[in-house]
Chains A and B, each alone.
Chain A
Amino acid sequence: MNDKIEILLVEDNQHDAELTIRSLRKVNLANKLVHLKDGAEALDFIFAKGAFAGRQIENKPKVILLDIKMPKVDGIEVLRQIKSNDITKTIPVVIMTSSKEEQDIITSYNLGVNSYVVKPVDFEGFAKAVAELGFYWLMINELPE
C-alpha cells in the first residue's frame, strides 16, 4: 500500500470502471491504478482514515478520475473536501461523468476541478478520451514535489 499510486479511479459502475482500466492498460498507463467504488471509500483513501488508516496522506496520486453520480458521497462532495485541504488540494482532479449538466460544470470549476470530461457514449470515443487523459496527466503534466 505504500507503493506510489499514479491513478485513483473513483467509479461506482463496474462496467465503466472496467472499460476505463482496459483503455488505460492498452496504452500501458494502468500499472499503478487504484479503483474505489464510492465517494466514502475515496475520502477514506485520500485522507488515510478508516480502512486506509495506515496509508501516508502525503503519498498522493498523480491524478484522480472522479465520477459524479455515486452512492453515499457524490463526486462533488469528494472534490470539495480534496480542494479544501492544504495537503490534498494540489492533486489534479478530473471529473468524468455521463451527463453534461451546466450546473455540475459550474460547481466543479468553482471548487477548483482541473478538468471536466463528459464520457463519450460509444466505446471507441471513450477509449480514445481516457487514453489521452491518462497520457496527459501522467506523462506531460508536472506536479510540485
Chain B
Amino acid sequence: MRTKTDHFLFSRLSIQQRLPLLICTLLLASVIIYGFANYYSLKKATLIIGKERLNSFVVELASSLGTSAQSIIKIVNTTAAQKTVVECLKSDGKKFRKETIDALDKLHRDSTWVLVELLNKNLVPIIRSDKSTVNLKVNIKDLISYTKVGPDSSKVGKIYNIKGLVYHPVITAVTNQKHIIGYIVSWISIHETPKSMEQFYQLVGITADIYIENTDGSLWTNLIDPLSKSPFKIKKTNELIEFTNTDGRWMIARAQYIPHTYWLVVVAFSEQNMLNGVNSFVKWIVLIGIVLMAIGILAAWVMSRNITKPLNQLMAAAMAIAQGNYSSPVPIDEFKYDELGKLANAFNIMISEIYLAHHELENKVEERTAQLENVNKELEAFSYSVSHDLRTPLRAISGYSIMLKEDYEAELGTEGKRIIHNIITNAKMMGQLIDDLLSFSRLGKKELVRTQIDMQLLAKNVVNELLQSGPEDKYNFNIDLLPPIKADQVMIKQVLLNLVNNAIKYSSKKTDPKIVIGSIEKETKTIYYVKDNGAGFDMAYANKLFGVFQRLHSQEEFEGSGVGLALVKRIIEKHKGEIWAEGIENEGATFYFSLPKT
C-alpha cells in the first residue's frame, strides 16, 4: 500500500522535478558506495599500518628499557668492584666505612633511587643509604634465589607493590677472588606522573597504553600505579592480542620481553585512536558528498528546465489549440537542432493541418446549416400555406354545406339530410386535424418559458375548463396534492388538457367513470399521471400511442385526430422529461409524464 502511494506521488511530479530527484538519488548512491568502499579499504590499511607500528614500537621500547637496565647494572657493578667497598665488606663494615657510604650515596642518581643497602654474606645489612623512609621488607634470600646472581654480576628483579607504590630491586654481588662476599641491593621506584606519561607520548608521537608486567604475571603496573588485576590475559608474546578495555574501547596489544629483566612490556593501541584519520576521512567524504549533491541538483534542475521549457511551450501551444487559437505556433529557434526542435516543428505542421481541416469542417457545417435553414424555411412556408390554403376551401365546404342545410332542408329529404350532416361533421374534423397539425409543427420553433407552476391549481383549472364544455355529470374527478414544478405553463397546460380530455373521452362509455390526477416525487424529477377506468388499451400497441396519426381506436368508437398524444410527447421531450403509459383493455389507462426538478 505504501509503495503504491509513493509511486503515485512520484508519478505526480513533473519531469522538471523528477530529473533532479533522479540525479540526486544516483549521486547519493554513488557517494555512499564510494565512501563505504574507501572507508573499509582505508580502515583495513590503517589497521595493518597500526599493527606494524605497534610491533615496532613494542620491540623498540623493550630494547630501550633493556638498554637502560643494562646501564644501571653497569653502574652498580662498577661500585661493587671498588676496593673500598670490598675492603669494607671484608672487615664487616669496620674499615673504609666512610668511603663505602660515599660510594653508595653516589648511586642515588635521581629521586627514583630510594634505597641502597650493603649486605654481608649472611644477608645482614652493614650499610644503608636511603633517600626515603620507606620500609622495604622483601625476602632477599628469595630474590637471590630467583635471580641466581653470580660473582661479578648484577640482576634486575621483579617489580613489587609496596604500600601502593611500585619498586624494583637491582641486586649486585660483591666479589673477592671469585667468591661472593656480600651484596648491594638497590631499590628504584617506578612512578611516573600522568603528565610525564603524556609528555612521553607526545615525544614518541603515539597514543597508547603501556604496561609493565612481571614475567610470572604476579604484578602489573601502568607505570603510574600498581595494578592488582591484569587488563587482559597474555597468551603469548610476539603476538597481537585484541580485547575490549574496561572503559569499553576496542584495543589491540602486544607484549615483549625486556632483556636483562624479569619484565614484559605491553603496549595497547585503541583502535578508535588508530582510526581517527579514517573517521575524519569519512567526515570529508560526507561533506564532499553533500556539496556534490547540491551542485548535482542545481545542474540537474537547470538541465531539466532546459529540457522541459520547450515541452512547456509545446504544452502551451496545445492548450491554445484546445481553446481554438491556431495562431500561436511553438517557437523553435532556440532548440531547432535537437529532437525537441524537430518535435516542435512536426507539431507546428500538425497544427496547420488541423487548422485547415477544422476550417474545412467549419465551412461544411456552415453550408449544411444554411441548407437546413433553407429546408426549415420551406417547411415553414409549407405549413403556412397549408394552414391558409387548406383552411379557406375547407371553411367554404363547411359553410356551403350549412347554407345548403339551412336554406334547403325541406327539399333534401331524410337521406339528403344524413349526407349533408356527414359532410359538415367531416369538414369540422378535418379543420381540427389541420389545427392540431399546425400547433404540432409550430412547437418545434417555440422557446420554453419556464416559470414556477402551481400544478394543483393548473389541474383544477383544466378540469373545470373541460367540464364546462360539456361532458355529463357522471365523471368522478380526484385531484391529489400535486407538487409545483418549473416548466412552460402554456405547454404543460396543453399536456394536461390533452391527457384529461383523452381520459374523459375514453371513459365516456362507462357508467361510473373515474379520473385521478396524481404525482410521484423522485429525487431529481416529479412524475405526474392521469388515470382513468375507461377503454384502456392493449399494452402490445403501447409504442404506437405517441406517434402522429397513430390511433388505437376507430373513429366511430372515439373520435380524434391522432395528433394529441404526439403533441404531448413533443412537449414533454422539449422539457427533457419522459412520457409513458400503462393500460389494460376495457379496464383503464394511466398516462405518466415526468419533469426534471431543475
Contact = CB atoms under 8 A, between A and B. Distances in A.
Interface of A: 13, 15-16, 18-19, 22, 69, 97-101, 119-124, 126-127
Nearest to B403: A22
A119 B391 contact: yes
Contacts of B401: 123
Contacts of B438: 100
B388 A15 contact: no
A124 B391 contact: no
Given A121-B431, A122-B427, A122-B428, A99 B399 contact: no
B165 interface: no
B388 A16 contact: no
B396 A15 contact: yes
Contact of A126 (B387, B393, B399, B400): B399
Nearest to B395: A121
A22 B398 CA distance: 14
A63 B388 CA distance: 23
B23 interface: no
Interface in B263-280: none
A126 B395 contact: yes
Interface in B375-392: 384, 387-388, 391-392
B395 A123 contact: yes
Contacts of A98: 387-388, 391-392, 395
Nearest to A104: B384
Given A122-B431, A124-B402, A99 B395 contact: no
Contact of B395 (A16, A22, A69, A100): A16
Contact of B399 (A19, A97, A101): A19
A69 B427 contact: no
A121 B394 contact: yes
Given A15-B400, A121-B434, A123-B402, A101 B384 contact: yes
B91 to A, nearest CB: 166
B398 A123 contact: yes
A101 B403 CA distance: 29
A13 B390 CA distance: 13
Contact of A99 (B384, B393, B430): B384
Interface string B390-421: 01111110111111000000000000000000
Interface in B539-590: none
Contacts of B99: none
A126 B393 CA distance: 13
B384 A119 contact: no
Contacts of B431: 120-122
B395 A119 contact: yes
Contacts of B403: 22
A121 B398 contact: yes
Contacts of A127: 399, 402
A96 B392 CA distance: 12
Given A101-B384, A120-B431, 8 more contacts: A69-B388, A98-B388, A99-B388, A100-B438, A121-B391, A122-B427, A123-B395, A127-B402
A123 to B, nearest CB: 4
Interface in B429-475: 430-431, 434-435, 438
Contacts of B398: 121-124, 126
A59 to B, nearest CB: 31
Contacts of A122: 395, 398, 427-428, 431
A32 B388 CA distance: 28
Contacts of A15: 392-393, 395-396, 399-400
Q: List 5 tightest A-B contacts by C-beta distance, closest first.
A: A121-B431, A15-B396, A123-B399, A123-B398, A19-B399
7 contacts: A13-B396, A18-B399, A119-B395, A122-B398, A122-B431, A123-B402, A127-B399
A120 B399 CA distance: 11
Contact of B391 (A19, A99, A101): A99
B148 to A, nearest CB: 147
Contacts of A124: 398, 402, 428
Contacts of B435: 121
Contacts of A13: 392, 396
A15 B394 CA distance: 10
Contact of A19 (B384, B388, B395, B427): B395
Nearest to A26: B406
Contacts of A69: 388
A58 to B, nearest CB: 34
Nearest to A20: B399
Contact of A16 (B384, B392, B402, B434): B392
A74 to B, nearest CB: 12
A120 B394 CA distance: 10
Nearest to B431: A121
Contacts of B428: 122, 124
B344 to A, nearest CB: 55
Nearest to A126: B395
B409 to A, nearest CB: 15
A22 B430 CA distance: 23
